[in-house]
Amino acid sequence: MSAVFGAGIGLGVCMILWSWRTHRDRAIDVTLRRFRVDRRNLAVCERDARSLAAERLLVGLAGLASPVLAFVVTGMFGTPLPVGWCLVASVGGGVIGFLLPVWQLRDRARSARRDFRTSLSAYLDLVSILLAGGAGIETALVAASRVGDGPSFASVARCLDVARTTRRSPWDVLAEHGERIGVEELPQLASTIRLGGEQGARMTASLVAKAESMRAKQMADVEARANSATERMGLPMVMLFLGFLVLLGYPAMHMIGAGFGA
């Protein structure tokens, strides 16, 4: 009986240690993903790693040197800032300055992917119209990419030019581009085009359905972001209301306290 009890305790301890290690590794992996540079973000923003590294270095040095400069300037006027505060602010400014370009790149990449998806739904509508008019698949793809403007249409046109010059199928190049910039809808579109180009499947209805589903997803995303912005606006209003109550109540509380003191 004691052996069974001891084995149960040992098994429980092992399970607790395994669970703690799993959660710790997962937390570390999430933290590294949050602070590392994603190559897909660089690709969708059309930036390279060297320029981002130079920007991180410059912004980090600026954040590191700003408190030191403030300490020197205030010292020249005879009222220097506390040395400890300047050291803490310098280290914090350097770290934040080094990470700030990565955070800004992530926000710009998210916005660029959202704009790409919006343009892609319009591109699908153009392709479906051309297919309904009797054009071939590759002709419709190229002609639709020439109609629109903007970075999304330009990137699709570049992919089609690469496919033509390298004698590759356009859907393979589009799929690779979608994986490179982190837009999963583009490989899905490429698989649909591959099915129509290789097996002769009817594509107009499928492309229209794909465009409608993308627009529905975009509307849901817009509504979610609007609701989130509305919720964020509630906190400043509550803080203003509390500040107004404190402003109104402070004179009365001061008079009451003075009366008790007298």
How high is the pLDDT of residue 8? 42
pLDDT tens-digit readout, 17-34:
554 555 444 444 444 755
Least confident of 27-31, 104-108, 212-216, 243-247: 27-31
- Across residues 238-258, what is the average pLDDT? 75
Residue among 179, 183, 117, 198 at smallest CA distance from 150: 117
How high is the pLDDT of residue 86? 85
When comparing pLDDT for 196 and 71, which is higher?
A: 71
- Across residues 249-261, what is the average pLDDT? 71
Q: What percent of the chain has pLDDT over 70?
A: 82
Model confidence at 149, pLDDT cuts 50, 70, 90, reads confident
Q: Please provide the DSSP assignment of 148-165 as one string.
A: --SHHHHHHHHHHHHHHH
How high is the pLDDT of residue 196? 63
Residue among 134, 162, 158 at smallest CA distance from 145: 158
For the stretch 203-235, what's the b/e string if a residue is b when 16 or more beta carbons lie within 10 angstroms of its beta carbon?
A: bbebbbebbeebbeeeeeeeeeeeeeeeeeeee
- Mean pLDDT of the chain, nearest integer: 78
Domain boundaries of the chain, sorted by first residue: 113-219
- Across residues 80-97, what is the average pLDDT? 87
Model confidence at 261, pLDDT cuts 50, 70, 90, reads low
| pLDDT at 57 > cutoff 70 | yes
Cβ–Cβ under 8 Å, residues 181 and 114: no
